[in-house]
């Protein structure tokens, strides 16, 4: 049966769900989304786990919290135990997808602590800890694309760990992310690691770019500025795909691919539409190209399944138009480098806040059991 999500899959787009909870796994809902909505992976972040674990209507964590409290676990140890258990269970659900896709899809991501966003050594240590604890070949460890994150990405890849690079907003940083991936592959290959087992995605954020840019365009207020609203996010993502195509067609990447490496797939993140005046499937149907991943909240997934219109490749023919958008933004006075730096800083700060809120509530729950 042809559905918009099936059409996306046919066009080469992998559909991942940007959400996870223990109840979603145990109820069979996750398995149902695989069969009925063509979902082939899951992404998580500290906010998603905070929403799941602290949900007063979800009692699925109560027994584990009580057990951890009795053992004297800290809040950090409890969160580590709960989140790694959920991700391991989800990875098992996706194991058949992983096998059927030739080990490309069927992936679930877990993020290193946001407190480590500017700590290279700490990030590498926790990436290795998560990789060893969860011990599933279809895991992706999520590392933010901060300046400190870049060498951590290269080192984790070099150790044979599959990585989801998150919080990418600018083309310049994306180029550095691809370089870190290739550097890591070269290190792994030199160490005798089978580089065909290493997978990576580069999570390029979309709707947040429009939110910040449109706020600035509205403040400028001219007709020329207002005509550019809701265009930066798609333009930025399309040029990211162009960069991906060019870089992985280069000699350095081709040598690694010939040795068995995988490309680092672009992943569209932040694809839920924040502006109610826009089509609710905008960041899905307008970012279709072979070999991309689109991770979306359930609301966007259901909107896409219900009424998304998939017309084939909506990226590769739009490079010149995307460049025109950026020329227009510069002309009206938008400093896009500042936009992307603000977004990176805010993204890290929001995840740190969610993480600390989660720790505080888990700490409270542990103390109540003691």
Residue numbers annotated as active site: 142
Q: Please report which helix (H) or strand (E) contains residue 201, including its range.
A: strand 200-205
Q: What burial letters (b/e) apply to 93-120, b meaning 16+ CB within 10 Å? A: bbeebbeebebbbbbbbbbbbbbbbebb
C-beta separation of 70 from 4 below 8 A: no
Q: Nearest Cα to 303, choosing from 11, 2, 4?
A: 4
Q: Return the half-sphere exposure (C-beta side, CA atoms, 13 A cut-off) of residue 299.
A: 9
Measured CA to CA, the distance from residue 166 to residue 49 in angstroms comes to: 16
Other CB atoms within a 10 A radius of the CB of residue 74 amount to 13
Both tokens assigned to 366: 């542990």
Q: Nearest Cα to 259, choosing from 173, 201, 186?
A: 186
Measured CA to CA, the distance from residue 203 to residue 259 in angstroms comes to: 25
Task: Give one DSSP letter per residue of 64-88, joined into a string.
Answer: HHHHHHHHT--HHHHHHHHHHHHHH
Measured CA to CA, the distance from residue 146 to residue 48 in angstroms comes to: 21
Both tokens assigned to 112: 């290193």
Measured CA to CA, the distance from residue 159 to residue 51 in angstroms comes to: 32
Q: What is residue 258's three-state secondary structure?
A: helix
The torsion angles phi and psi of 117, rounded to 5 degrees, stand at -55, -25
% helix / strand / coil in the chain, to the nearest 5? 60, 10, 30
Residues, the chain:
370
């Amino acid at each position: 049966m042809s559905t918009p999500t099936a059409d996306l899959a046919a066009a080469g787009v992998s559909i991942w769900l940007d959400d996870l909870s223990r109840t979603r796994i145990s109820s069979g809902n996750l398995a149902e989304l695989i069969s009925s909505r063509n979902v082939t992976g899951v992404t998580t972040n500290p906010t998603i786990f905070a929403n799941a674990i602290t949900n007063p209507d979800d009692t699925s964590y109560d027994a584990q919290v009580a057990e951890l409290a009795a053992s004297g676990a800290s809040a950090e140890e409890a969160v580590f135990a709960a989140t790694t258990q959920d991700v391991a269970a989800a990875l098992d659900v996706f194991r058949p997808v992983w096998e059927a896709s030739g080990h490309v899809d069927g992936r679930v991501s877990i993020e290193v602590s946001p407190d480590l966003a500017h700590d290279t050594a700490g990030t590498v240590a926790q990436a290795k800890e998560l990789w060893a604890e969860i011990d599933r070949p279809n895991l992706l460890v999520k590392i933010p694309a901060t300046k400190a994150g870049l060498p951590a990405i290269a080192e984790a890849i070099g150790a044979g760990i599959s990585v989801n690079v998150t919080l990418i907003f600018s083309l310049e940083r994306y180029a550095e992310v691809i370089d870190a991936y290739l550097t890591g592959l070269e290190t792994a290959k030199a160490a005798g690691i089978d580089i065909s087992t290493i997978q990576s995605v580069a999570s390029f954020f979309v709707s947040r770019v429009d939110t910040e840019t449109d706020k600035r365009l509205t403040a400028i207020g001219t007709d020329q500025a207002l005509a550019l609203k809701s265009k930066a996010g798609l333009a930025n993502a399309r040029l990211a795909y162009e960069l991906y195509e060019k870089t992985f067609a280069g000699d350095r990447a081709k040598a690694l691919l010939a040795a068995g490496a995988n490309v680092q797939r672009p992943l569209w993140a932040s694809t839920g539409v924040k502006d109610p005046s826009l089509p609710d499937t905008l960041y899905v149907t307008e970012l279709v190209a072979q070999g991309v991943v689109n991770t979306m909240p359930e609301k966007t997934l259901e909107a896409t399944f219900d009424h998304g219109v998939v017309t084939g490749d909506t990226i590769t023919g739009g490079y010149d138009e995307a460049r025109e958008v950026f020329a227009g933004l510069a002309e009206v006075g938008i400093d896009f480098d500042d936009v992307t730096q603000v977004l990176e800083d805010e993204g890290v700060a929001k995840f740190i806040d969610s993480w600390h809120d989660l720790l505080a509530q888990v700490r409270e729950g542990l103390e109540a059991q003691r």
